[in-house]
Homo-oligomer: A and B are copies of this chain.
Amino acid sequence: MTVVKSTLPDAARQVVGDALQGTLVDLLGLSLIGKQAHWNIVGPRFRSIHLQIDEVVATARTYSDTVAERAATLGIPPDGRPETIATTCALQAPKHGGWIQDTEVVSLLIEALETVIAQLRERIDATDEADRVTQDLLIGLTAELEKHRWMFQAEDWPS
């Protein structure tokens, strides 16, 4: 059943749909992992990183809405159900629950951000022909996530 008609031809719609659905799952996963770190971090840099993570989560939540509504706009129903995230999100959550040392949190965030960024750069290439509007959205998102990655990496340097 196709409810909302797409303004894209079928082939383009398939490519763009994959890019958006993949990004949606990444962003929802990133926001959950970010919050997990926000709550469980311990160590002398607690306050500074506790606050910094919430800015990553804000980016992830805002863009997850933008990405999902872009999919719906193109006639592609987005799927952000808990099971979908758990089974299709490639991001590595902390293996065990419990407190996490502040230096580990920095590594965790850098790794998660690099995973998402790498996939986004592929999707930017993939959507070049298919839909420039979606591509533009992904470029804006990549810029923000790369900036977050820089900030975590700059403070991953030994004192």
A residues with a Cβ closer than 8 A to B are 1, 3-5, 7, 28-29, 32-33, 35-36, 39-50, 52, 61, 64-65, 68-74, 77-87, 89, 93-94, 97-99, 101-103, 114, 117-118, 121, 124, 132-133, 135-137, 139-140, 142-143, 146-147, 149-151, 153-155, 157-159
Bound Cα distance A43, B99 (Å): 23
Contact of A4 among B49, B71, B97, B153 (CB under 8 A): B153
Tell me if A's interface is mostly helix, strand, loop or mixed. helix
Residues of B within 8 A of A147 (CB): 69-70, 73
Residues of B within 8 A of A84 (CB): 97
Bound Cα distance A102, B45 (Å): 12
- CB A111 to nearest CB in B, in angstroms, measures 12
Asked if A154 and B93 make an inter-chain contact with CB atoms under 8 angstroms apart, the answer reads no
Residues of B within 8 A of A33 (CB): 81-82
Asked if A32 and B42 make an inter-chain contact with CB atoms under 8 angstroms apart, the answer reads no
Q: A4-B150, A44-B158 are in contact. List 15 more A-B contacts (CB 8 A).
A: A7-B118, A29-B82, A32-B85, A33-B82, A35-B68, A36-B81, A39-B71, A42-B154, A43-B157, A45-B155, A47-B151, A77-B98, A102-B157, A136-B140, A136-B143
Asked if A132 and B139 make an inter-chain contact with CB atoms under 8 angstroms apart, the answer reads yes
Residues of B within 8 A of A82 (CB): 29, 32-33, 82, 85-86, 89, 93
Residues of B within 8 A of A29 (CB): 82
